[in-house]
Structure 1
C-alpha cells in the first residue's frame, strides 16, 4: 500500500476503512517497509475508520509525511484507550510527519449522551485533528493519553464539555500544558474546580486569563474562594514570585448556585459576565 501511495504524490484525501494486516507487527520488517516516509505534500485529509485495535493503521500513518494543514480524522466504534493508542502513531513515530498536530492551539473535548465522545484539535484556524466514537470506555484517561500521544506546545485554549469526576486526569493534563490561557468547562463538580486553586505547592495553568463555567455544580462560596487565589494581588493569593499572569475574565453560564452577591464580590477583582 505504501508503494501505491508513493506513486500518488498529488493525493489530497486518503480514507483508511477497517484496515488489517494478516501478519504480526514484529514480522513487518520482512515485507520491506520504506525506510523513509512517503511524502504527500498535497494531502488535506486523512480519515481513519476502525472498529477494533489494529497496529496496521498506526504503521501506515507513521510512514506518511503530510503537509502542516492536513487534518487527521479518526472514527472508531466502541472505543477504548487501546484502540486510540493502537491507531494513532506515538509522538516519536509521527513527529514531523503530521506537523499540524504540534500546531494545535485549541482543543475541544465533548462527552455527549450515551458515551459519545468527540475531540477536535484546531491549529492556525483550521481543524488538524478529529476523533469521534459512539461509546468511549476510558474517558477519565483521555486527556493524559492525548498529551502523551502528541504534546501540544502551542495549546492556548481548552474546552471540555461534561467533565464530571475526572479531576485527577484533568489536573495531569493541565500540568503538561502550562501555556493554556483560556478554559471553558461544562458540568464541573467541586473537585474539578478545586484544582484551579493556587497553593504554595501547586499552581496549575499559570497562564490562565479567562475561565468559562457552564452548568457547574459549584457553590458560590467555593467558587469565590478558589478564584481569589488566582487574583494578583488579592487577599488569598499565594502566587509564586515568578508568576505574572492573573485571572482577568470569568463567564458564568447557567450555574444555579452562583449568587449575585458572589458575582459582585468577584467583580471587584476581574471582569465577570453572566449569561
Structure 2
C-alpha cells in the first residue's frame, strides 16, 4: 500500500535524526589536518543520511510493534471470554488441566496474553498440582500456591533416581497439612517417605508399588499412615502396597480399591471396614488373597450399603471371599456388579444361591431379563484357553441401572459346560432376551466351539431353566446350536420364542435354518406362541430368504462392509 504523505513524513524524521547527530557530536575539525576532498564530504553526508534512515526505520518498527502489542491487549480485554469474572476464568483454567499430565500448564497459560498471565499469577489454585521436577520449580509451585490444597503426584511410567525422589519428598512433606490428593507410584520403600506426616485435609490417596512382589515385606506399611490423621479421606486405592485392614485409614470411605495384595486377615475383617463406611459407593478388589476364614460368628450379619454403585471382585481367593461378601452385604437395586472367577471357582461356589428361606442380597437379580453370553478363544490377553462372560441387565437399564458381568477363564472348551448349565440354578432371572456370541480366531473350516457337544448341551440346559425367553440372537454359530431350538416330539425349548437373529452365522446351512424356522412357525408344532420374525446379518442367498419369508417376516442385511475390513 502506498501513502502520499509517506515521503514527507520520512524526510521529517530523517532531518530530525540528522539534527540529533549534529547536536550530540562534540568533535571539532582539526586545523592541522589536510582539507577533506569534496568527494569525501559527499560520501560522509550520504553515510549520515543512510544511518539516519536506518535509525528511523528501526524506530518506526519499534513504535509499530509497541502499538500492536497495546492494541492486541485491548482486543483481548474485550474478547467474550474476558467478560467472565477473573475467578471464574481461573476455575476454568484449573478444570482444563489434564490430571494425568505432568506438564507445567500454568506456564503455557501465562504466555497466551498479559491478562491471562495476571490471572494465573493471582490464582494460587493453579499452582497446586505438584510433580517431581527440579527442586527450584517445585519450591516455586509451593510458594505460588500459598495455602491452597495441594495435589502431590509421582506417576507411573516415569523413571526417577532414588535421590530425586528423596529430594522431592523432602520438599513436599512439610506441606502435608495442605495435601488434598496424593497419587504416588514407585518403589514401596521410597513411597513410605511421603506417608509419615499428618494429612488432615487429604481426600484421595492412591498408592501403586512396583519393583516388589505381593509377598515382599518391603511393600508392607507397618506404621500409622500419616500418623493416623486422615479424617477427610474418602478415596483409597492400594496396589501392591499392604496396609493392615485394622488401620484407621479404611474408615468412612466412599471409594475403596485394592489390587495385587495378600492379606493376613480374613475376609471377615473386610466386613468391619464396610460396616464403618456406610456411605461406600465403590468397592473394587482385584487379585486379592485373604487369610484363612475367621471363626467369628457372622451368620445372619448383613451390612447395608445403600449408596453402593459398583462392586467388582476379580480373582479374589482365600476362604471363598466373593461368596462371603455377597452373603453378608446388601447390594442396592441399582448397583453394577463385576466378577472374575478364579480357575478353581464355579458359579455355585463363588456366588450365594437364591433360596426362599434366606435373604438374598443381590436384590435386583430377579428383574434381569437381558443376558448376553460371550465365549472368546484365547482369553482376555490372548494367552490360550477360553473366556466365558455373562452380562445381564433389566430391560431399559442400559446405563445407570442394575447390571452384572461375570467372567471365568478355562483351559478347555469342555469346561464351559458346567458353567453354562449352572446359570439357571444360581440366578433366579426372568429372562426374555438372550444373546450368544462366539469370538473364534482359528480356522473356521477346522473347528468352531459352537460345534462342540458340551457347548450345545450346556446351552440346552441353560435354556430349559428359562421358559419365558422371547428373543434369541446368535453371533458366529453353527448348525449344532440351531438343532437344540428346532422343535421335535421330545424337545421344545423356549416355548414363547418369537424372534431369532443370526449375525454372521454364514456357516449355518440353509437346510438347517429353514428346518428351524419351519418348526417354530408351525402352530401345530409350536403351539399358540409361534415364531414371528427372523433377522439375518451376513451372506444368505435370495432363494433361501424367499423360502424363509413364507413362514415369518425376515429382515436381511448383507453387511458387506464387515467382510471387507
* TM-score relative to the length of structure 2: 0.43
Q: CA deviation at 1:83?
A: 4.8
CA contact (8 A) 1:9 1:41 kept: yes
Matched, 1:206 2:490: no
Deviation per residue, 1:79-107 (Å, 9 max, x gap): 54635443322223985311122211111
Q: How many residues align?
A: 260
Q: Structure 1 20/80 Cα, relative in aligned 2: closer, same or farther at 3 Å? A: closer
Higher relative contact order (CA 8 A, sep 6+): 1
Which structure dedicates a bigger proportion of its chain to helix?
2
Name the stretch that deviates more: 155-164 or 10-19.
10-19
Q: CA deviation at 1:198?
A: 1.3
1:235-274 residue pairs with structure 2 within 5 A?
237-239=524-526, 243-254=527-538, 256=539, 258-274=540-556
Q: Structure 1 116/103 Cα, relative in aligned 2: closer, same or farther at 3 Å? A: same
Higher-Rg structure is 2
| Structure 1 unaligned blocks of 5 or more | none
Deviation per residue, 1:46-74 (Å, 9 max, x gap): 11021657512211221001111112111
Q: Cα RMSD over matched residues?
A: 2.4
CA contact (8 A) 2:291 2:319 kept: no
For 1:81 and 1:230, how far apart are their aligned partners in 2? 40
1:127-166 residue pairs with structure 2 within 5 A?
127-133=402-408, 137=412, 138-152=415-429, 154-162=430-438, 164=450, 165=452, 166=455
Name the stretch that deviates more: 63-72 or 159-168.
159-168
CA contact (8 A) 1:13 1:44 kept: yes
Q: CA deviation at 1:232?
A: 3.4
Which structure dedicates a bigger proportion of its chain to strand?
1
CA contact (8 A) 2:288 2:317 kept: no
Q: State the SS of the aligned residue for 1:62.
A: helix
For 1:253 and 1:223, how far apart are their aligned partners in 2? 13
> Displaced runs of 4+ in structure 1, greater than 6 A?
none
CA contact (8 A) 2:343 2:408 kept: no
Deviation per residue, 1:202-256 (Å, 9 max, x gap): 21111111101123222112211221111134xxx423xxx321111101122x4
CA contact (8 A) 1:40 1:67 kept: yes
* TM-score relative to the length of structure 1: 0.85
Q: Structure 1 53/147 Cα, relative in aligned 2: closer, same or farther at 3 Å? A: farther
For 1:131 and 1:183, how far apart are their aligned partners in 2? 20
For 2:550 and 2:390, how far apart are their aligned partners in 1? 36
